[in-house]
Structure 1
């Protein structure tokens, strides 16, 4: 059956080419039989009808010129950089549990929230089943006993992450920060004044007419939203660079209460961030890694359940955290399905579109009792960067989309090595694929992320060359250990 489907796919994909070959052969045979007299009559026809030369040809030239002048400027990804925290910020599961016990014993004001041992066992079970390894990172302030959750400590974490990623990006690309015309920074739960985008402008002394944007409260899928915004701006403002910075702050957003639905986020989120350099300059095509092909955004926030399934609020004791409702899996599945439905016509080959249409027709018109047809996305993409939001999310997508273990390897290994770094996780996954030497010219990449609101967003890229990892790739120090076997 596998080979039958492969034959069908190749037949449909190359159908027009197969039809073109005999047509060209027939034309060539007829052309070879033309006599000098036929050629003379052909040229005489043009001579007797000057309107062809004076009207049609200029119209073709004008139309071609207008098309090339008005078509959207291509958006190139020159390079990107993921932040690698210093080794002393690493934490294992045992270290986290030990830290919790020390905090409880040393800090009396926490005793009321931590005296119940049942929730300690709950945290351990979540950590052990999360798919997260023992070399992830938490910020400096959370290594203290008790943790320092001040504004100053939160700023220090964010500055370390953002500046670390940007310093490496500028060093690798040799781009002068003052040449940046567009800046987009996204951080969901930490949005101080002045904004994080203003912090970047101040640090690198960016020019005064820069178009800067700060996206807040948009969840783990905000990285793709930032790319989409930068894309739209680059198609309006010609011949410039755009920098997108995606991160999340852990210091000020660690939940210190005993509401179990709010504790889960403490177990999953870790330090991380990424900086991406985009360009619409034609001269940058040869040195760029990827070209942006599509962005598709889906927002189901009009539905109350979707809006509240990941909700920042205070618990009964007045402590702030993000609660995850029991509706989250169903909402995520529905939003993901909607996003895939919008993306599919843009990326799937004709062979899969025809199979989907046949299944849809049989089910709707003839009431056939068959399942909804899930297209084979491996025919549309060579690489998948699924947001490392958690083990359950990756498992579900792997199962429902009929992906192979190697298709989700980058996502699983990113979750294991770095944890959930929110909107930047898809960039750690792309860095993993590059570090493994798997990215070849023409390969297509699907970045897909889900986040509060509720949102699902996709970005599709195509590799312009055989891509090698850039200097200070975050996997440099640990690539030899991966992939690791994870008990499923």
Structure 2
């Protein structure tokens, strides 16, 4: 009888405990259901702006050659740079900071900082004016400059210039190469999905002055001939109400990093030469390395964007090659990415890079026109080049509602990154300052330009 009374006395506690566990299970189930079925956060690209240097910053090829002659470079180094420049596909309008056009280039931290702040603040000002955004409305700020990383950071310089709010989340990406712009978009995407209803500002540039190489190593002299002044600012949002004014919606972002491979890791490398002079060497293997990275990136991106028919043809070609391995080699089918994308923005890293991607992907002349014209007019502006190309497409009036654009970026490491955007409005895009002379383009770019 005592045992029975004791059990009866414990019943309320057992009931309470069981109810507590039941409620915990219900709450956990509701959380799981919420996570499974909650509305996906869409990332919108409200607008972007590209930096156009003043005409006084232009570096005509004849001035470039004169400067390296007067800078007492050895004859072999001069001849090598002229050869690279003649095949670069550049116009006479590419620009460098004024400190580099002096007869004796003046390298200093203050000049480098002036160069970076000039580009970044100018392009951010343009973007704020275009979008009518108050700087204090920015919740996330990401800047990137691969070769210049001062203290305080470049993102701090932007915050100081525009007096942004004290709780803005700021980041600076360095050492990420020419693909840093898309990496910044990926970082912004993740932050915007965690911090909903936020605005993110991305500022991409590259600073030339401190990395101007005056030694004799040919692989390090290439950077003098390819890189030019430029920058871009991009405004992203995770606010649903911004859909009505946004230009694009981010659909996919795929990143590929081949740094585990020694050849890829050393392909673009900052080092010292035999005379202890700092420079960035670009390997002769860069096209092969870039090709391998691009193939891996495409393999990951293809299933996300290609129609089933193209994926099937690609899969069957692989099967056919494996079956016929002991008789004759069967070529693997290259999917037609023109069926997935309306526009292509290929990083303007160099003429050979653009031509290789054009050939390997079976693209048309008009598909690579934005990349070739960006390289021609602005040179290699590093991480901002794909934004100049998107700006070119808009200025030409080719972007329509529903169009999909593929941004392909390549950078040291070695990395290949892709961003896929969908145009969500069929409105007339305002011709941006960077291409206010768009009526002049496209132009025929000769294979070789002789420099007198």
Pair in the same fold by TM > 0.5: yes
Distance 1:222 1:462 in 2: 21
Aligned match of 1:430 = 390
Cα contact 1:91–1:138 (8 A) shared by 2: yes
How much does 1:467 deviate? 4.9
**1:144 positional shift:** 1.5
Distance in 1 between the 2:273 and 2:429 partners? 44
Separation (CA, whole Å) in 2 of partners of 1:465 and 1:400: 32
Partner in structure 1 of residue 438 of structure 2: 479
**Partners of 1:329 and 1:425 in 2: how far apart?**
18
Distance 1:421 1:378 in 2: 26
In the alignment, is residue 462 of structure 1 matched against residue 430 of structure 2?
no
Give me the whole-angstrom Cα distance separating, in 1, the residues matched to 2:55 and 2:329: 56
Q: Which blocks of at least 5 consecutive residues in structure 2 are unaligned?
A: 1-29, 448-452
Q: CA deviation at 1:119?
A: 2.1
The residue that corresponds to 1:264 in the other structure is: 222
Task: Verify the 8 A CA contact 2:395 2:432 in the aligned structure 1.
Answer: no
Normalised by the size of structure 1, how large is the TM-score? 0.83
The alignment status of 1:86 with 2:54, answered yes or no, reads: yes
Instruction: State the Cα distance separating 1:243 from its structure 2 match.
Output: 0.4
1:197 corresponds to 2:155: yes
C-alpha distance in 2 between matches for 1:167 and 1:103: 36
CA contact (8 A) 2:259 2:265 kept: yes
- The aligned residue for residue 399 of structure 1 is 359
State yes or no: 1:369 paired with 2:329. yes
Separation in 1 of the partners of 2:235 and 2:182? 14
Structure 1 stretches lacking a partner, 5+ long? 1-61, 105-113
Alignment of 1:66-465 (within 5 A): 66=34, 70-104=38-72, 114=73, 116-367=74-325, 369-465=329-425
Instruction: Note if contact 2:394-2:431 (Cα within 8 Å) is conserved in structure 1.
Output: no
CA deviation after TM superposition for structure 1 residue 364, in Å? 2.0
**Matches of 1:181 and 1:69, distance apart in 2:** 27
For the residues of structure 2 that align with 1:327 and 1:409, how far apart are their CA atoms? 25
Work out whether residues 300 and 335 of structure 1, in 8 Å CA contact, stay in contact via their aligned partners in 2: yes
* Structure 2 CA distance for aligned equivalents of residues 437 and 371 of structure 1: 38
Superposed CA RMSD in Å reads 1.6
Looking at structure 1, the residues matched to 190 and 132 of structure 2 have their Cα atoms a distance apart, in angstroms, of 25
Return the alpha-carbon distance in structure 1 between the equivalents of residues 362 and 138 of structure 2: 41
Instruction: Give, in angstroms, the shift of residue 132 of structure 1.
Output: 1.1
1:188-229 deviations in Å (ceiling 9; x for gaps)? 000000000111111111111111111000000010000000
Report the CA distance shift for 1:92/1:302 in structure 2 as closer, same or farther (over 3 A).
same
> What is the distance in 1 between the residues matched to 2:428 and 2:211?
36
Q: TM-score normalized by structure 2?
A: 0.89
How far the C-alpha of 1:103 sits from its partner, in A, is 3.1
Aligned-pair CA distance for 1:471? 5.9
Q: Distance in 2 between matches of 1:281 and 1:394?
A: 36
User: How far has the Cα of 1:256 moved from its partner?
Assistant: 1.1
CA shift at 1:487, angstroms? 2.3
Contact 2:324/2:330 (<8 A) preserved? no
Do 1:388 and 1:411's aligned partners in 2 also have CA atoms closer than 8 Å?
yes
Alpha carbons 1:359, 1:372 under 8 Å: kept: yes
Secondary structure of the equivalent of 1:235? Answer: helix
Contact 1:250 1:270 in 2 (8 A): yes
Q: Distance in 1 between matches of 2:184 and 2:371?
A: 20
